Homo-oligomer: A and B are copies of this chain.
Amino acid sequence: VLGVTGDSDALHHALARIVGAEHVRPAGASSPWVRDATISRGVHGRADAAVLPGSPAEVAEVVAWCYRHDVPIVPRGGGTGYAGGAVPIDGGVVVALERLRAVRELSPLQWRMHAEAGLTTAHVARLCRENGMLFAPDPGAAEQSQLGGNIATNAGGPHTFKYGVTGAWVTGLEAVIAPGELITIGGPVRKDVSGYDIRALLAGSEGTLGIITAAWLKLLPAPEARLPIAAAFAGHRQGCDVVAAIMGSGLVPAAIEYLDGGALRVAAAPFPAPLPPGAGFMVIAEADGTTAQARALRAELTELLCEEAVAVHAPQDAAGIDALWRWRSGVALAVTARRGGKVSEDIAVPLDRLAEAIEEVVEIAARHGLEGCSWGHAGDGNVHATFAVDRSAAELDAADRAADELFALALRLGGTISGEHGIGMLKRAALQHQFSPPVLGLQAAIRLAFDPKGLFNPGKKVPLPGD
């Protein structure tokens, strides 16, 4: 499927004419444009060039040129993905959105924002906060990841439990589709059933259907207070029982996170409070709303958590609350630091199978001679199952085999091979087990409906016939 990009000079010249020579970059194997967060697994690629268009119109021109010349197009946001979605496989043009950073409108009174794809997650969050608003999605790597990438992967995060994934907050999209058309679908309207929901289709399409250049976002008034409670338990049985008790209580926390024993051990040192030696599992639940609401909810959650907890940490002030969430964000890094690398997948399972999934991650790892642990979004059944590796070929290979067992586990429990990270290039084989042949056929047909030449991010997401 990959196009022939033999004449590198002609390609660079043509792209330079569109975006300016200074915005065409070499994209060889050692460049930053051919890797993402999977680099710790040794994944990288090769492209003929990276371009940084300065406007949606330039994105359309670049796509038009590539489409005319059968050159693969690899859209790129912050490059923080865990599935290789932004990694060019073998040639083509990386289209990086980082120069598209305009905030076209921010209307707190109408609970909405119109923003370009290259704005970082943190920037969007900050702008909203400064205006008393909340853009609910809160995926990790907020300082690097970008709005367009968040939408293209339908990113989640801890607060997805209460607020839903990124796509739920997008009411309109501007995007470039084949063969180089700049289109707008939806807009600053909160409801729209006019056509098929192309917004929802582009959300999570991982750059295979088009390039998102801007989005209309739905905002909420920022909750006055966010009060997390971290509770440590002897083990995962007690912790999962408490998660079930919270779900059955009629309360609606903003987030219900967990760390299993292995993850907690590795991340324990910088935890912002003393942890007793018997701590073998952690649940973090958060209450939000007005201060009065959040306090009342925190009190009820604390009561549930305390029944079995060996320790509870409920910071009262902003600094303490920030420190707890910052620590939670750092878990992935701490686990990586443990042995120098990690292979991390993100299966999601029905809530009543959460304890089983958490147990089996460790067992699967052990069967392959690896250290396994998990953490993640307990309330969504979303398990970041992780195998620590030293990045040797032998361990990476063992981890890949362990990951295959993990995917089989997810499907056996009635779940999915990816709750958040997407399919990228790494999970395409597993997809064939999750979907029946008619569903795989439908997925391929949708892809071809958008991209008859198969030039958008080839080798990623759903396979095309002949892939």
- A residues sitting closer than 8 Å to B (CB atoms) are 107-112, 132, 153-154, 156, 160-161, 164-165, 167-168, 177, 181, 183-198, 200-201, 203-205, 209, 220-222, 224, 244, 247-252, 289-290, 292-293, 296, 348-352, 377, 379-382, 414-423, 427, 431, 434-436, 438-439, 442-443, 445-450, 461-462
For residue A245, which residue of chain B has the nearest CB?
Answer: B109
CA–CA, A70 and B181, complex, Å: 35
B193, B200, B348, B423: the one contacting A197 at CB < 8 Å is: B200
Say which residue of B198, B419, B427, B436 sits within 8 Å of A191 (CB atoms): B419
Among A160, A192, A348, A382, max chain B CB count under 10 A is at A192
**A216 nearest in chain B by CB position:** B350
Chain B neighbourhood of A442, CB < 8 A: 177, 183, 198, 449-450
By beta carbon, the residue of chain B nearest A292 is B296
Partner of A248, one of B109, B290, B381: B109
- Residue among A195, A249, A423, A434 with most chain B CB within 10 A: A195
A109 with B191: CB separation less than 8 A:
no
Q: How far is the CA of A418 from the CA of B227 in the complex (A)?
A: 40
Contacts of A350 in B (CB 8 A): 110, 112, 187-189
CB distance from A210 to the nearest CB of B (A): 9
Q: Nearest Cβ distance between residue A414 and chain B, in whole angstroms?
A: 6
Q: Which residues of B contact A381 (CB under 8 A)?
A: 189-191
Complexed CA–CA distance, A445 and B183 (Å): 15
Q: Are A160 and B191 in contact (CB under 8 A)?
A: yes
Which 7 interchain pairs have the tightest Cβ spacing? A200-B200, A445-B449, A191-B419, A181-B438, A221-B250, A192-B416, A188-B350
Identical chains in the assembly? 2
Residue of B nearest to A452 (CB): B445
Report chain B residues within 8 Å CB of A351. 110-112, 190
A192 touches B419 (CB 8 A): yes
B221 adjacent to A423 (CB under 8 Å):
no
Query: Contacts A184-B436, A189-B349, A381-B189 known; A167 to B250 CB distance under 8 Å?
Result: no
30 A-B residue contacts at CB 8 Å? A110-B350, A110-B352, A156-B191, A161-B190, A164-B168, A165-B191, A181-B438, A183-B439, A183-B442, A189-B381, A190-B348, A190-B381, A190-B382, A191-B380, A191-B381, A191-B420, A193-B419, A194-B416, A194-B418, A195-B435, A195-B461, A196-B204, A196-B205, A196-B446, A196-B461, A198-B439, A198-B446, A221-B249, A292-B296, A293-B293
Q: Which of B195, B203, B293 contacts A443 (CB 8 A)?
A: B195
- B348–A191 CB distance below 8 A: yes
* Nearest-Cβ distance from residue A135 to partner chain B, whole angstroms: 15
Judging by beta carbons under 8 Å apart, are B198 and A204 in contact?
A: no
Verify B250–A132 contact, CB threshold 8 A. Answer: yes
